[in-house]
């Protein structure tokens, strides 16, 4: 990494011309080399390699860095090896100028990636690097926005028949591999032929869509038979594939009067197994099977830019044109079955632990529950999000309401209710007697309902609270704040298309988190590089404008003296 040499005098600098070196330093490679590479957790992996056995270990920073860059650019293992061997930007970014360290095997790359995943280092790499960039470039984190994006692991989309069938096949294959004696003794030749035979006349080669219900029933009975046989055998029941068999059966079926009954599709939970090859994935009713990644990023408004301060001449207009750097501050991948409303609290907790104090967080309707409002308030954060659900049709705008207690004080005629009844389930019923409502000029537009004693309305305080929130959401102030939320959609688009985060080559939650976090870091590195190029251009223009102003001042002064 250039250690042992004075900054600016490293031998590798002689390999590049000044112009080429400047291009590299202002590119993503320069940002990575300066801000990311020194922070890679090589010390946490060093102890996993022996100093006495095996071939000499390649330079760890370069190999970890190559693992990170593989996710940046969505490369296969063979493509990554070629980039490390021949790409000058990679050599500069990783400070890997020794040709012996530039050429690695696929096994070396695979082993390093496995270490990073198992040790959970992707979270540390993203967090430490992002916090460094925030501090180094003085990024304003007071305003942030959050959203989720649907992503997929490397798994096929399966229906119920395939889920049950592949779960059985997976168990039988593992049982045969690990306990061949038990397999031969307990698994009938008929079942072996049905699930493990690879010819066209096997069970899955004869499936017909019209017989799906009968096929499902057959699979469920076979699954129950296997569970009955091996539940009491500890050596088998402790197998991961058998536990998966139990889980799939409990999610898809139940036993009633010693008969196996299939659940209806509506009864199957959204967090049920979607594919036996990736049990961590879930199901979202709108987006389908897979995972979702929660992303939170900083954003800037005109107020942010003005708050940065004036330049030496107090020129606010010049300062307002100064580029801003916005970064992704939080990224977390979870099952698609999780609702967005559950993601706000972990994000705010993470911000608090890292000392990134936010004042406002903007999110779409999914995050705007009353509970999340209170959670954000406890963190000292204002949640800017529309009220979820449908607006009440009870006509609360016709009443005089106490905005603190969320209670109706009087009707639009300023008449207080004659009876106030607090019901057992939390609702409140207000009653106005007939004599009270007699000759009321608002009788035709009154939102109350006629009853035997007069007119009444039943409501909940939560409905009043949501009504007040929706009134505020119609204000110019709220719309001005909330309009910045939509900017994260561009980030989502860039995240899934530019870095290939929509579908990863891996399976399982741990590997999905590894790939998603490092791809989010890629966005931060690319944004920082773009920011540096813009800021360089900004100061060049500012320098030119300053010199022009000085030159004009000198000319005008000389003209005045001559006059």
pLDDT at residue number 365: 94
pLDDT band at 66 (very low <50, low <70, confident <90, very high): very high
Q: State how far the Cα of 474 lies from the Cα of 480, in Å rounded to an integer.
A: 11
Residue 220: both structure tokens together: 């469920």
| 3-class state of residue 390 by DSSP | coil
Q: State how far the Cα of 28 lies from the Cα of 38, in Å rounded to an integer.
A: 15
Residue range 94-110: mean pLDDT, rounded: 90
Q: How far apart are the first and last CA of the chain?
A: 64
pLDDT digits (tens, 9 = 90+) for 23-58: 898 899 999 999 999 999 998 988 877 665 555 455
Contact 172, 166 (CB under 8 A): no
Q: State how far the Cα of 12 lies from the Cα of 482, in Å rounded to an integer.
A: 49
Contact 92, 13 (CB under 8 A): no
DSSP notation for 491-551: HHHHHHHHS-TTB-S--SHHHHHHHHHHHHHHHHHHHHHHHHHHHHHHHHHHHHHHHHHHH
96 phi and psi angles, rounded to 5 deg: -110, 85
**Confidence check: pLDDT of 295 > 90:** yes
Residue range 153-164: mean pLDDT, rounded: 90
Q: Return the CA Rg of the chain.
A: 32
pLDDT band at 544 (very low <50, low <70, confident <90, very high): very low
How many CB atoms within 10 Å of residue 400? 13
pLDDT digits (tens, 9 = 90+) for 110-128: 999 999 999 999 999 999 9
pLDDT band at 303 (very low <50, low <70, confident <90, very high): very low
How many CB atoms within 10 Å of residue 550? 10
pLDDT band at 4 (very low <50, low <70, confident <90, very high): low
pLDDT band at 360 (very low <50, low <70, confident <90, very high): very high
Residue range 154-160: mean pLDDT, rounded: 89
Q: State how far the Cα of 315 lies from the Cα of 338, in Å rounded to an integer.
A: 49
pLDDT at residue number 345: 96
Residue range 458-486: mean pLDDT, rounded: 92
Q: State how far the Cα of 303 lies from the Cα of 301, in Å rounded to an integer.
A: 5
Domain ranges of the chain: 11-119, 160-267, 292-389+473-535, 396-461
Q: Where is mean pLDDT largest: 55-69, 132-146, 544-558?
A: 132-146
Nearest of 130, 146, 140 to residue 528 by alpha carbon: 130
pLDDT at residue number 312: 45
| 3-class state of residue 27 by DSSP | coil
Residue range 433-456: mean pLDDT, rounded: 89
pLDDT at residue number 354: 95
- Judged by average pLDDT, the poorest of 197-201, 218-222, 412-416, 504-508 is 197-201
Q: Pick the more confident residue, 68 or 391.
A: 68
pLDDT at residue number 240: 94
**Confidence check: pLDDT of 169 > 50:** yes
- Judged by average pLDDT, the poorest of 274-278, 379-383, 389-393 is 389-393
Contact 411, 448 (CB under 8 A): yes
Residue 227, burial from CB neighbour count under 10 angstroms (0-12, 13-18, 19+):
middle
pLDDT at residue number 540: 59
Q: What is the mean pLDDT of the chain?
A: 86
pLDDT digits (tens, 9 = 90+) for 198-209: 754 455 545 554
pLDDT at residue number 22: 87
pLDDT at residue number 15: 78
Angle between helices 240-252 and 160-178 (to 10 degrees): 160
Contact 133, 524 (CB under 8 A): yes
Residues forming a β-bridge with 422: 428
Above pLDDT 90, what percent of the chain?
Answer: 63
Q: State how far the Cα of 455 lies from the Cα of 303, in Å rounded to an integer.
A: 50
Sheet holding 419-422, edge to edge: 419-422, 428-433, 454-459, 449-450
Residue range 145-171: mean pLDDT, rounded: 93
Residue 49: both structure tokens together: 């390699």
Q: State how far the Cα of 534 lies from the Cα of 528, in Å rounded to an integer.
A: 10
What b/e readout covers 254-285, taking b as 16+ CB neighbours within 10 angstroms? eeeeeebebbeeeebeeebbbbbbbbbbbbbe
Nearest of 73, 95, 88 to residue 20 by alpha carbon: 88
Nearest of 181, 173, 185 to residue 229 by alpha carbon: 185
pTM of the model: 0.85
The full 3-state SS of 266-335, as one line of letters, equals HHCCCCCCCCCCCCCCEEECCCEEEEEEEEEEECCCHHHHHHCCCCCCCCHHHHHCCCCCCCEEEEEEEE
> Which H or E run includes 361?
strand 360-363
**Any alpha helices (H) in 16-120, and if so which ranges?**
18-25, 28-31, 43-46, 60-72, 77-86, 88-94, 99-102, 106-118
**Confidence check: pLDDT of 210 > 50:** no
Contact 144, 327 (CB under 8 A): no
Above pLDDT 70, what percent of the chain?
Answer: 85
Please give the distance of CA 49 from its chain centroid, rounded to a whole number: 33
pLDDT digits (tens, 9 = 90+) for 306-352: 444 444 444 444 556 778 899 999 999 999 999 999 999 999 999 99
Return contacts of 102-107, CB within 8 angstroms, 24+ apart: 102/62, 104/58, 104/63, 104/66, 105/81, 106/77, 106/78, 106/81
- Judged by average pLDDT, the poorest of 178-187, 206-215, 371-380, 503-512 is 206-215
Q: State how far the Cα of 397 lies from the Cα of 411, in Å rounded to an integer.
A: 10
Contact 400, 414 (CB under 8 A): yes
Task: Give domain 292-389+473-535's CATH superfamily.
Answer: Ribonuclease H-like superfamily/Ribonuclease H (3.30.420.10)
Contact 279, 273 (CB under 8 A): yes
pLDDT at residue number 180: 94
Contact 252, 260 (CB under 8 A): no
Q: What angle do CA 285, 488, 519 make, to 5 degrees?
A: 85
């Amino acid at each position: 990494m250039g250690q042992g040499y004075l900054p600016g005098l490293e031998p590798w600098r002689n390999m590049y011309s000044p112009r080429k070196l400047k291009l590299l330093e202002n590119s993503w490679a320069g940002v990575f080399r300066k801000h990311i590479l020194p922070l890679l957790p090589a010390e946490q992996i060093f102890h996993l390699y022996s100093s006495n056995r095996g071939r000499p270990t390649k330079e760890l920073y370069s190999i970890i860095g190559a693992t990170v860059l593989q996710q940046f650019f969505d490369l296969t293992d063979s493509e990554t090896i070629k980039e490390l061997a021949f790409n000058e930007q990679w050599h500069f970014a990783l400070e890997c100028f020794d040709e012996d360290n530039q050429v690695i095997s696929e096994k070396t790359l695979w082993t390093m990636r496995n270490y990073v995943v198992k040790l959970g280092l992707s979270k540390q790499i993203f967090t430490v690097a992002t916090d460094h960039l925030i501090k180094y470039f003085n990024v304003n984190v007071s305003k942030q926005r959050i959203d989720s994006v649907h992503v997929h692991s490397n798994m096929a989309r399966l229906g119920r028949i395939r889920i049950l069938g592949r779960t059985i096949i997976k168990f039988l294959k593992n049982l045969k591999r690990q306990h061949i004696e038990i397999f031969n003794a307990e698994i009938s030749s008929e079942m072996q032929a049905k699930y493990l035979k690879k010819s066209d006349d096997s069970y899955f080669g004869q499936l017909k869509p019209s017989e799906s219900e009968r096929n499902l029933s057959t699979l469920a009975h076979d699954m129950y038979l296997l569970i009955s046989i091996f539940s009491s055998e500890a050596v088998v029941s402790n197998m991961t594939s058998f536990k998966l068999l139990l889980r799939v059966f409990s999610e898809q079926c139940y036993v009633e009067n010693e008969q196996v009954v299939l659940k209806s599709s509506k009864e199957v939970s959204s967090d049920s197994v979607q594919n036996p090859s990736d049990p961590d994935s879930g199901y979202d009713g709108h987006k389908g099977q897979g995972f979702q990644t929660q992303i939170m990023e900083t954003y800037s408004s005109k107020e942010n830019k003005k708050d940065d301060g004036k330049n030496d001449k107090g020129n606010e207009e010049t300062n307002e044109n100064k580029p801003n750097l916005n970064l992704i501050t939080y990224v977390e991948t979870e099952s698609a079955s999780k609702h967005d409303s559950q993601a706000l609290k972990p994000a705010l907790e993470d911000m608090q632990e890292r000392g990134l104090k936010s004042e406002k967080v903007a999110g779409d309707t999914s995050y705007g529950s009353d509970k999340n409002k209170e959670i954000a308030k406890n963190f000292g954060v204002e949640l800017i999000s529309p009220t979820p659900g449908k607006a009440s049709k009870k006509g609360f705008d016709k009443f005089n309401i106490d905005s603190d207690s969320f209670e109706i004080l009087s009707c639009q005629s300023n008449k207080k209710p004659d009876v106030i009844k607090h019901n057992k389930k939390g609702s409140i019923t207000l009653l106005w007697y007939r004599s009270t409502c007699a000759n009321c000029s608002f009788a035709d537009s009154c939102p109350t309902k006629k009853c035997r004693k007069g007119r009444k309305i039943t409501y909940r305080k939560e409905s009043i609270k949501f009504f007040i929130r929706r009134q505020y959401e119609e204000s110019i102030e709220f719309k001005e704040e909330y309009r910045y939320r939509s900017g994260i959609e561009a980030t989502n688009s860039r995240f899934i298309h530019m870095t290939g985060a929509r579908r990863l080559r891996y399976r399982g939650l741990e590997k999905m988190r590894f790939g998603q976090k490092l791809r989010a870091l890629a966005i931060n590195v690319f944004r920082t590089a773009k920011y540096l190029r813009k800021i360089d251009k900004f100061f060049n223009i500012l320098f030119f404008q300053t010199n022009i102003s000085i030159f004009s001042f000198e000319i005008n002064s000389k003209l005045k003296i001559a006059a």
